Amino acid sequence: MAGPQNRFRLKNIDNTGFGTNSSVEGGRLVNPDGSNNVRKRGLPVWERISFYHTLLRMKRAHFFLTIMLFYTATNIFFASIYFLVGVHNLSGIQHSESVIDELLAAFFFSSQTLTTVGYGHVAPTGLITNAIASTESLIGILAFAVVTGLIYGRFSRPRAFLLFSSNALMAPFKNGKALMLRMATYKNNHLTDVEAQLTIALHVEENGKTVTRFYPLPLEMSRINSMASSWTIVHNITEESPLFNYDQKALSEAKAEVMVYVRAFDDHFSNTVQQRTSYLSSQVLFGARFIPMFQRSDDGSYTLLDLSKINAHEPADLP
């Protein structure tokens, strides 16, 4: 594999948390959402998966679907128990020859008990039925307390809300070229003291063996005081750059991956937030530059930031 002429005098990073053995890597190291592309095994599922963290991080639609499935499954479970004990032990339910009608009646009584609504027209009779209803009420109180905590945790969890460009660009810069990517906040939050770090992973041959080396990519500006609009992160490619002498083919052969780490202070949460993403070599476009994504409003009273143009670029000749 052809590599850069200066790679042996560059100091790589050994404390990235990723191994150097390329033969055990599967695909990219960091997913676009910032999570590590690692799956674990060797322990039972309930020991290696935190359901709390899973419920906090899952998509909103999946979260509420999970709650609905749990609610429905719990009601079906208790409705089946009421049906097996006998719906005649539930006063206020009219006896029906239809099994479906009795199951539905037991299901709706279960939902009233689980949520502790208790309309009053149906009530359990007998020790067994009352014990079942009491147990379900306790489970309902505990379950809704947990769900309320999860909803609050998801709502209050600090997030950076950063939108990254889909591609990184190899663009002309100061009579040379530079690696550029763009990001912007897509919510109405305000980030200050924003700091960015770029690291590139390169697969190179050393002593006849392919290994993964990690190199820091110094930035033209690594920190800004306030992120009011978009920020184009620029790594100037000089002779000291790990990407010096790399063209698109060499970058692809090295299976390069640019990892982005951003940390900032959010005024709304009064807390530090962070976000990560990465770009594969196939996502790095050579000979292109970003098109400005902000402009003055028609009446000139404010600046308009068009988030749909976060990845807008045009061809540009490289030196």
Least-confidence region, from 6-15, 187-196, 286-295 = 6-15
Q: Are residues 165 and 101 in the same domain?
A: no
pLDDT band at 142, cuts 50/70/90?
very high
Q: Are residues 208 and 245 in the same domain?
A: yes
The pLDDT of residue 196 is above 60: yes
What pLDDT score does 27 carry? 74
Q: Are residues 218 and 83 in the same domain?
A: no
Q: Are residues 123 and 183 in the same domain?
A: no
Q: Kindly state whether residue 227 falls inside one of the protein's structural domains.
A: yes
pLDDT band at 194, cuts 50/70/90?
very high
Asked if 274 contacts 35 with a C-beta cutoff of 8 angstroms, the reply is no
Q: What are phi and psi of 106, to 5 degrees?
A: -65, -35
Q: Kindly state whether residue 172 falls inside one of the protein's structural domains.
A: yes
Please give the mean pLDDT across all residues of the chain. Answer: 87
Final residue before a domain boundary, out of 156, 188, 221: 156
Q: Are residues 98 and 177 in the same domain?
A: no
Q: Kindly state whether residue 173 falls inside one of the protein's structural domains.
A: yes
Q: Kindly state whether residue 60 falls inside one of the protein's structural domains.
A: yes
What is the C-alpha separation between 122 and 89, in angstroms, rounded? Answer: 10
The pLDDT of residue 140 is above 80: yes
pLDDT band at 282, cuts 50/70/90?
very high
What pLDDT score does 1 carry? 40
Final residue before a domain boundary, out of 156, 175, 197: 156
Q: Are residues 55 and 167 in the same domain?
A: no
What is the C-alpha separation between 153 and 61, in angstroms, rounded? Answer: 16
Structural domains in the chain (count):
2
Task: Give the CATH number for residue 263.
Answer: 2.60.40.1400
Could you identify the residue written with the tokens 């390329």? 22
Q: Are residues 202 and 63 in the same domain?
A: no
pLDDT band at 23, cuts 50/70/90?
low
What is the Cα 184 distance to its own chain's centre?
16
Least-confidence region, from 29-33, 74-78, 111-115, 252-256 = 29-33
Give the domain range for residue 225: 159-315
Q: Are residues 92 and 220 in the same domain?
A: no
Q: Are residues 183 and 311 in the same domain?
A: yes
Q: Are residues 190 and 304 in the same domain?
A: yes
Work out the number of other CB atoms within 10 angstroms of the CB of residue 268.
Answer: 12
Instruction: Please give the residue that has the higher pLDDT: either 30 or 171.
Output: 171
Instruction: Tell me the per-residue pLDDT of 247-276, one tens digit each, with 9 for 90 and over.
Output: 999 999 999 999 999 999 998 888 899 999
Q: Kindly state whether residue 40 falls inside one of the protein's structural domains.
A: no
Instruction: Tell me the per-residue pLDDT of 206-243, one tens digit each, with 9 for 90 and over.
Output: 777 888 889 999 999 999 999 888 999 999 999 899 99
Final residue before a domain boundary, out of 133, 156, 179: 156
Arithmetic mean of pLDDT, 105-133: 87
SS (H, E, C) the chain: CCCCCCHHHCCCCCCCCCCCEHHHCCCCCECCCCCECCCCCCCCHHHHCCHHHHHHHCCHHHHHHHHHHHHHHHHHHHHHHHHHHCHHHEECCCCCCCHHHHHHHHHHHHHHHHCCCCCCCCEECCHHHHHHHHHHHHHHHHHHHHHHHHHHHHHHCCCCCEEECCCEEEEEECCEEEEEEEEEECCCCCEEEEEEEEEEEEEEEECCEEEEEEEECCCCCCEEEECCCCEEEEEECCCCCCCCCCCHHHHHHCCCEEEEEEEEEECCCCEEEEEEEEEEHHHEEECEEECCCEEECCCCCCEEECHHHCCCEEECCCC
The pLDDT of residue 6 is above 80: no
Least-confidence region, from 14-28, 45-59, 147-161, 209-223 = 14-28
Q: Kindly state whether residue 25 falls inside one of the protein's structural domains.
A: no
- Its pTM stands at 0.77
The pLDDT of residue 12 is above 50: yes
Instruction: Tell me the per-residue pLDDT of 43-98, one tens digit each, with 9 for 90 and over.
Output: 887 788 888 888 988 889 999 999 999 999 999 999 999 989 888 888 887 777 78
Q: Are residues 222 and 307 in the same domain?
A: yes
Minimal CA–CA distance to 107: which of 137, 82, 132? 82
Arithmetic mean of pLDDT, 147-171: 92
What is the C-alpha separation between 286 and 313, in angstroms, rounded? Answer: 11
Q: Are residues 110 and 204 in the same domain?
A: no
Q: Kindly state whether residue 5 falls inside one of the protein's structural domains.
A: no
- Overall size of the chain counted in residues: 319
Q: Kindly state whether residue 29 falls inside one of the protein's structural domains.
A: no
The pLDDT of residue 2 is above 50: no
Task: Give the CATH number for residue 110.
Answer: 1.10.287.70
